[in-house]
Each structure stands twice: as structure tokens, then as C-alpha cells.
């Protein structure tokens, strides 16, 4: 089976050491990306670790397809113990980092320990250097990129960085690359902040011996270039009005299901502000959204649909320029737009200030710096909703994505049982229910489909393939690319989900944590069906006999 090549590089920022470990056996079993990082995290992060403690570890990992030139492969995975959910979380980002990472010759970077001063870490194919960067304290993400360019002649495509939010341990701080691409969900930016790591750069010319089958490599690339999908013009915002009119667009902190100003923040509004094409590394699909507004001077990338919901409808804001400004603010400060937007919406609800975009921006900035009310909100909705006297719209501590489980019941079930909480990318139920392939009503009988979708998503994040490439990187092409039956690829995904769940179980997660803050039909019975399909206990735990040691220990 095709898999990533290269050692695990462990960088202990407290000891200022860099150690390579051969993980060939692990990669043969787990391929790379999210699966390999999850296996390593399961073995090497103590089950009782403090997310902000030196014993937590952050993993940046690549898959074998990042060694190709195929469209939809300009992505990387990041995994660690989340300060937002208190369980394992994996998130991935696009941009241009992956090929520079591959050039260093490693397959996984592990960041361990805790530095006693703010540092930058520089990884090349010749070694690792540590640089004290006290002058970057409080720097924004673009300011950090400028420093890397000025001092090291490297660009934001060579770099991961955190902003003030990460330094201040905002629980939903993101790790940024290429200034505007986010390892967004779960607060891994705060993990790097707790380790006093401001940025990590990657540079090298190593070429691991991985051969990617062609076709389908160039077939995918050609079809992506020739596509006329709406996504290429409007990104994920293209369905905003369709969802608003036919399903639900959470509005005014989930109090309403429909937003009267959806057209003002939807796909056409975004397309009007788009001024050039944007892409990720090696991708001909070019679905990114570089946008600008001449009157205000704001220039950003996006917003995508989740940001349109979080800083638009859910805050009662109907002007796309306001959403663009919020999007750019989050990128600059280094925060997940979903969690930040929902948390600010909760605050607007508590103050009866829906629609106040200026207050929303002021509050967003206060969160990043933990100033005033921002210090409370930086903890996330799960930890501050009582203070605000609002409902707790989270699952496992993670704020909800846009796709409303009160209407899409299969998606609601997905939110309830997902190991990382209310995240829309954990499984593809929403696509099936929006398209009519699956009746959005009801939860019973959907567990088998949910398991398949979770497994497929986990392998997608392992390969690594962009979620927007599913119509091009099809199941049969995946079989050819990885020289494996599709069922074998899904089993890698299943193993990944199992290891995530077992890690969380050992931290105390069980059936009590699988639920929703609202009622949908037959949820408890559907959860039981899900456990049975997975082969887990009635209490939502993974039997110890299902977990084998697969990764080298940290000792």
C-alpha cells in the first residue's frame, strides 16, 4: 500500500533537542496524515496530560499524496490534545506548506516540551535550529511571516505560526500557514502557545522515493482544471441561500432557523468581492476566494460558508464586508472563525446586541488579547455560557458548525458521537442529507452510513486529499492511487476513529459525553446503533482488546 516516507522528527523545545525515529512499520499500517499522527499521539501523550502542559505534544503530518503533483493534495494534518474539548483533535489546512514540509525528508513533526522563552524552530533537510524571538511577542500572523521573510528569506508558505490568540492560550486559537489558511478547530494554536513556539519553518530538497500512479494522477489534475463547478467561483458560500431557504441557517445564536439577509452574505455577495483566483499547492481547481472591498480597504481570503454563518447569520449581521473584516481579523490574530464567531454570537445574545458588527469585531480582538470580557470568552462557550446566561451550543466543548442538526438529523447524530465534537468535517452526513441521498428526517437506521462516512473522512485526512475533491478523487481512483481495496482504506479510517475514542475514553469520556443540547428523534437509540456498528460497549467505550500497540513510545 502506498504510504508516506520519512522518519518522525521529535523537537523538544524545552531541551532544545531534535531526534529522528524510524516509523516505517507505523507508516505501512497507518499510511500517514491523521492516522499516523493519531497512532503516535495515542502512544506518546499521557492519558492524564494537561493540554497546556509540557507533556502534551503536537503532531504535524503529511501523507503520500503530498509527494505528488495531483490536484486536491495541497494539505497537511495537525493532531494533539485539545484545550477546547480535552480530547484528541485533528485538523487540516491547505496552502503551500506541504511540499516544503516534504522537502525536509520527514513524515511527521512532533513538538514536545515547553520552552522558557518565545522561540522559532527552523527545520531543514540538514537539521533543526532554535531561535529566540522575544521581538515577536504579541506579533500577528502576517507580522510573523514578515519576520521569517526578512530574517530567513522564507515565505508564509514555508511556515506555521500563531498569533496573539495562541500566545494567550485562547482555547480555540488556530495554527496558521500562508497567513490565511488555518489548522482551525480545537485550539492547537494555544498548544503551541503553551510551549512558547511562535512559528516553525520548513525548507529542503529531499525527495522521498514514492511513486504516484499516473493515471489517475494527471486525470484528476486535468478534470479539476476543466471543471465549471460553482465552488470554483463562490467557494462553500455558493449554497448559502439554498440552505437558508430549504433547510436551516442558524441565526441570532441559534434562536432562529432562517436569516432574512442571507443574500447579503451568500455566494453572489462573496463573488462580487473576489478579485483574483486562489488555490492550494499543485491544485488546478482554484476554489479559494481572495476578496477585497475598495471602500473599507479590507482584503482577505474568503469568507467561506462557516465564517458567513458564524460572523454573519448567527450574529444577525447581513453585510458581507462586515464578515470579511471579521474573517481577516481572525486570520491575523490566529483564531478559528467558527468557534470565535459562535462565542461572540453568544456574547451578543447576552447583551441583546445582535447585528452590531462593530461590537463583534471589538469583542473578537479582546478575545485574542484576553482583555476585559475577552478573557471570559477566550474559554469558549462551554466554559462561559453560565456567566453569559445563554444556552450551551457545544458538543464536547466544541462550538457548532453551520449545518443544523435540528433539521439534518443524521448530521445531528454525527455531532453527538464525533470524537472531536460539533465539527462538520468529521463525517459527510450533511452532504447526503442536503442532496436528498439520505432523508434528513430521523436518526434510526443511519448508524451504518455514519460509520462509513467517518471512516472515509478519516482516510481522506490520512492520504491526504482535500474534501472538495470527492467528485474527482473517487473511490476507484483511491484504490489505484494507494494500490489497495477500498475496504482496506476504510479500515485504516476505522482504526483511526477507534484510537481517538480509546484515548478519550482513558481521559474519562463515555456515553454521557455523546449528546446534543437539543432534542432530535430517537437519538439515544441511534447512538446505541452506532456503538453496536462500531463494536464498542453500551457505554460508548472501546474494548481494550481492540487496541494494539502500534507506535514507538516516547520513553
Q: Residue 211 has what pLDDT?
A: 81
pLDDT at 33 over 80: yes
Q: Measure the CA–CA gap between 52 and 416, rounded to whole angstroms.
A: 26
Cell 446534543 identifies what position?
Answer: 516
Note whether residue 303 is domain-resident. Answer: yes
User: What percentage of the chain carries pLDDT values higher than 70?
Assistant: 100
pLDDT at 555 over 80: no
Q: Residue 73 has what pLDDT?
A: 97
Sort strands 119-124 and 197-203 into parallel, antiparallel or unpaired: parallel
Exposure on the CB side of residue 281, measured as CA atoms within 13 A: 27
Q: Residue 549 has what pLDDT?
A: 82
Note whether residue 461 is domain-resident. Answer: no
Q: Residue 535 has what pLDDT?
A: 98
Note whether residue 276 is domain-resident. Answer: yes
Phi/psi at 170 (5° precision): -60, 130
Note whether residue 540 is domain-resident. Answer: no
Q: Residue 553 has what pLDDT?
A: 86
In the chain, % helix, strand, coil (3-state, to 5) comes to 45, 15, 45
Q: Residue 207 has what pLDDT?
A: 78
pLDDT at 284 over 80: yes
Q: Measure the CA–CA gap between 101 and 71, rounded to whole angstroms.
A: 17
pLDDT tens column, 492-503: 999 999 999 999
What is the pLDDT averaged over residues 174-194? 98
Q: Residue 13 has what pLDDT?
A: 98
User: What percentage of the chain carries pLDDT values higher than 90?
Assistant: 96
Please name which of 540, 522, 515 lies closest in space to residue 395, comparing C-alpha atoms.
515
Tell me how far CA of residue 254 lies from CA of 49, 188, 206, 248, 335, in angstroms: 34, 26, 49, 10, 21
The pTM of this model reads 0.98
Q: Coil, strand or helix: which one is 267?
A: helix
**Could you list the residue range(s) of the whole structural domain that residue 293 is in?**
227-399
Note whether residue 80 is domain-resident. Answer: no
Note whether residue 172 is domain-resident. Answer: no
Mean pLDDT score of the chain: 97
CATH number at residue 372: 1.10.569.10
pLDDT tens column, 359-374: 999 999 999 999 999 9
Phi/psi at 292 (5° precision): -150, 155
How many domains are contained in the chain? 1
Tell me how far CA of residue 288 lies from CA of 39, 185, 262, 457, in angstroms: 32, 19, 21, 21
410, 526 Cβ separation under 8 angstroms: no
pLDDT at 324 over 90: yes
Q: Measure the CA–CA gap between 357 and 14, rounded to whole angstroms.
A: 42
Q: Residue 446 has what pLDDT?
A: 98
Indicate the DSSP class of residue 65. Answer: G
What is the SS3 assignment for 413-442?
A: HHHHHCCCCCCCCCCCHHHHHHHCCCCCCC
Note whether residue 445 is domain-resident. Answer: no
C-alpha cell at 438: 439520505
Note whether residue 429 is domain-resident. Answer: no
Amino acid at each position: 500500500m502506498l504510504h508516506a516516507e520519512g522518519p518522525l522528527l521529535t523537537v523538544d523545545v524545552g531541551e532544545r533537542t531534535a531526534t529522528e525515529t524510524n516509523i516505517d512499520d507505523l507508516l505501512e499500517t497507518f499510511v500517514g496524515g491523521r492516522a499516523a499522527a493519531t497512532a503516535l499521539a495515542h502512544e506518546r501523550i499521557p492519558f492524564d496530560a494537561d493540554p497546556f502542559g509540557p507533556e502534551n505534544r503536537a503532531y504535524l503530518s503529511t501523507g503520500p499524496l503530498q509527494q505528488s503533483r495531483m490536484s486536491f493534495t495541497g494539505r497537511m494534518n495537525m493532531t494533539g490534545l485539545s484545550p477546547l474539548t480535552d480530547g484528541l483533535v485533528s485538523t487540516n489546512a491547505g496552502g503551500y506548506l506541504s511540499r516544503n514540509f516534504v522537502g525536509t525528508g520527514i513524515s511527521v513533526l512532533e513538538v514536545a516540551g515547553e520552552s522558557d522563552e518565545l522561540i522559532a524552530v527552523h527545520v531543514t533537510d540538514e537539521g533543526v535550529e532554535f531561535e529566540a524571538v522575544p521581538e515577536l511577542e504579541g506579533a500577528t500572523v502576517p507580522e510573523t511571516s514578515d519576520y521569517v521573510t526578512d530574517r530567513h528569506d522564507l515565505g508564509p508558505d514555508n511556515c506555521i505560526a500563531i498569533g496573539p490568540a495562541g500566545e494567550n492560550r485562547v482555547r480555540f486559537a488556530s495554527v496558521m500557514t500562508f497567513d490565511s489558511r488555518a489548522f482551525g478547530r480545537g485550539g492547537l494554536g494555544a498548544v503551541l502557545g503553551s510551549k512558547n513556539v511562535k512559528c516553525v519553518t520548513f525548507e529542503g530538497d529531499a525527495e522521498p522515493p514514492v511513486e504516484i500512479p499516473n493515471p489517475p494522477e494527471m486525470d484528476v489534475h486535468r478534470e479539476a482544471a476543466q471543471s465549471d463547478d460553482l465552488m470554483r467561483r463562490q467557494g462553500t458560500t455558493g449554497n448559502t441561500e439554498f440552505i437558508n431557504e430549504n433547510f436551516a441557517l442558524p441565526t441570532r445564536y441559534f434562536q432562529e432557523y432562517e436569516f432574512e439577509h442571507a443574500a447579503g452574505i451568500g455566494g453572489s455577495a462573496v463573488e462580487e468581492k473576489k478579485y483574483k483566483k486562489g488555490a492550494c499547492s499543485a491544485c488546478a481547481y482554484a476554489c479559494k476566494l481572495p476578496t477585497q472591498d475598495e471602500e473599507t480597504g479590507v482584503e482577505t481570503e474568503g469568507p467561506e460558508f462557516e465564517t458567513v454563518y458564524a460572523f454573519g447569520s448567527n450574529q444577525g449581521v447581513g453585510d458581507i464586508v462586515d464578515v470579511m473584516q471579521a474573517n481577516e481579523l481572525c486570520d491575523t490574530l490566529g483564531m478559528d472563525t467558527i468557534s470565535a464567531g459562535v462565542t461572540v454570537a453568544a456574547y451578543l445574545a447576552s447583551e441583546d446586541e445582535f447585528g452590531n458588527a462593530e461590537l463583534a469585531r471589538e469583542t473578537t480582538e479582546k478575545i485574542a488579547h484576553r482583555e476585559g470580557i475577552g478573557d471570559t470568552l477566550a474559554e469558549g462557550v462551554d466554559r462561559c455560557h453560565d456567566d453569559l446566561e445563554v444556552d450551551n451550543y457545544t458538543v464536547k466543548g466544541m462550538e457548532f458548525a453551520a449545518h443544523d442538526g435540528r433539521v439534518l438529523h443524521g448530521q445531528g447524530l454525527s455531532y453527538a458521537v464525533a470524537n472531536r465534537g460539533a465539527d462538520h468535517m468529521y463525517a459527510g452526513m450533511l452532504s447526503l442529507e442536503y442532496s436528498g441521498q439520505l432523508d434528513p428526517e430521523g436518526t434510526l437506521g443511519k448508524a451504518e452510513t455514519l460509520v462509513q462516512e467517518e471512516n472515509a473522512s478519516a482516510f481522506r485526512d490520512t492520504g491526504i486529499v482535500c474534501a472538495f475533491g470527492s467528485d474527482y478523487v473517487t473511490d476507484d481512483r483511491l484504490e489505484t492511487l494507494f494500490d489497495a481495496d477500498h475496504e482496506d482504506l476504510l479500515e485504516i479510517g476505522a482504526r483511526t476513529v477507534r484510537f481517538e475514542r480509546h484515548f478519550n475514553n482513558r481521559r474519562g469520556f463515555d456515553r454521557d459525553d455523546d449528546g446534543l443540547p437539543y432534542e432530535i428523534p430517537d437519538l439515544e437509540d441511534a447512538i446505541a446503533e452506532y456503538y453496536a456498528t462500531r463494536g464498542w460497549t453500551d457505554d460508548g467505550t472501546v474494548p481494550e482488546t481492540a487496541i494494539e500497540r502500534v507506535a514507538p513510545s516516547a520513553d
